[in-house]
Amino acid sequence: EANAGILGLQPYQAGKPIEELARELGLDPQKIIKLASNENPLGPSPRIIATLEAAVTEVSRYPDGNGFALKQALAEHLDVLPEQITLGNGSNDVLELIARTYLNPNTAAMYSQHAFAVYPLATQACGAQHQCIPAIHWGHDLEAMAQAITEHTRIVFIANPNNPTGTWLSEQQIHSFLAQVPASVIVVLDEAYFEYVEESLYPNGLSLLQQYPNLIVTRTFSKAYGLAGLRVGYSVSSVEIADLLNRVRQPFNVNIMAQVCAQEALADEAYLQQSRALNRAGLIQLEQEIRALGLEYIPSVGNFLCIDFKQDALPIYQALLREGVIVRPVAAYQMPHHLRVSVGTEAENQGFIDALTRVLE
């Protein structure tokens, strides 16, 4: 029989694939609008396409298992040591490495209600105990989380900003939380959407690493850098923690294409700026249109927005699918009245709003 933790697992529900819906509706996939996975609507930059083409001849070789060149580039970019970096097959991979390094059935991991689904999944897969702390205003209640730490707590996962709610925590809030956490507890600050956030009080987790050696900051190339399909993310931590994570990871966990494209993406400042500008404009557009429809949403600093329909949102999700628009139900996050929509291009956002208007008529 499988491990008890595995028997209790519910698989991660990803956004519905475009091809699948196109086939169901008998539509050209080009006609489908997918705003379901917080992907970058810009698509890959020409520099990434050229990098992929140049790397094609290398695929008969294994990638560099240590990711030497990418770690060097990241270390320079982030002003940290290469030895502090752990690369992953997406930041999901790094989150799992952390769970496998620190959790077992006699320990517990803590996370917030409505927080990113991989925290409970990784915890459950290790057979560890769950400490799910009720949210406050849809975000993390750090005071309650600090109070709830027990001698069993090994990891606290914090998403800043959080997916799917888009809520964020200030430098002062993170600081006072870290100051209350025993040094034996690992705090994971998941900054998957870091590059999008513009609030002046939003902290750069890396600036806290020196003061808090139990902190691990995770980031990704999947969102603002536009490389979701290549699967590459990373953590920055103390050298000691990175050494432990390195023992657990698969020998070649980040593929050749991902490594070279991530380096190129780091250098492609123009693409990043364009992504951020498009997201800022798209968020404002969506917020205005949603308000005009008389609907409420949770204010978000990410590249997505949760809309509150004040009723079971699943029929609305399904009606949108019939219109060729894929968004994300978040009932599994204990948010059955909300749907999460990712920020798309101006045309995609408008297509979503038009479909939603028809559905709500």
Chain residues that interact with ligand PMP, rule: CB under 6 A: 38, 90-92, 116, 159, 163, 190, 192, 220, 222, 228, 233
Least distance from C-beta 227 to ligand PMP, angstroms?
A: 9
Contact assessment for residue 118 and residue 126, using Cβ atoms and an 8 Å cutoff: no
Q: Which residue in 84, 325, 62, 21 sits closest to 216, CA to CA?
A: 84
Tell me how far, at minimum, the Cβ of 163 lies from ligand PMP, in Å.
Answer: 3
Which residue has its beta carbon closest to ligand PMP?
90
- The CB-of-125 to ligand PMP minimum distance in angstroms stands at 15
Q: Minimal distance in Å, beta carbon 219 to ligand PMP?
A: 8
Q: How far is the CB of 58 from ligand PMP (least distance, A)?
A: 23
Pairing of strands 186-190, 215-220: parallel
Comparison of 98 and 103: residue with beta carbon closer to ligand PMP: 98
Residue 90 backbone class (left: φ over 0; alpha: ψ -120 to 50; beta: rest): left
Comparing CB distances to ligand PMP, the nearer of 119 and 177 is: 119
Name which of 222 and 275 has its Cβ closer to ligand PMP.
Answer: 222
CB of 88 to ligand PMP, least distance (A): 7
Shortest separation between residue 151's beta carbon and ligand PMP, angstroms? 28
CB of 176 to ligand PMP, least distance (A): 22
